[in-house]
Amino acid sequence: MTYHVYDLAYCKVLTIAVCDMQYEDTKVQRFMWTKFNETILKHKFPKPKFKGFMVDNAQANWNVVKIVYGLGDPILRWLTRSTLIYSIELNHSINTLNN
């Protein structure tokens, strides 16, 4: 599984984490995000404040976002079902963030 963010300073999508998982259930993804957040704090970076998430349609992906990051206003807006929809939503998100 690969996790990306859109960085406003670089104006591009950057990979922030890659994790090879045997299963992609909520428990495993929660472990990954927990370790990611611990690593960020260990290296004295502030806890990330994401403005939204884009995930595929698997329920485990949404569950872990809700568990780890909560249900902020924009978080559950984006849902990716295919590469085409992903690109459309990514472009929309980039335009929204830049305005």
Distance CA 64, CA 30 (A): 6
pLDDT tens string 15-34 = 888 888 887 788 888 998 88
88 within a domain of the structure (yes/no): yes
> Considering the domain boundaries, does residue 50 fall inside one?
yes
Residue 7 placed within a domain: no
pLDDT one-digit tens code per residue, 53-79: 666 667 777 778 778 877 654 444 444
Phi, psi of 44 (to 5 degrees): 65, 25
Work out how many domains the chain is built from and give that number: 1
Is 44 a domain residue?
yes
pTM: 0.58
- Asked whether the CA dihedral 39, 25, 75, 54 is positive or negative, the reply is positive
Residue 63 lies in a domain: yes
- Domain holding 70, by residue range, is 25-98
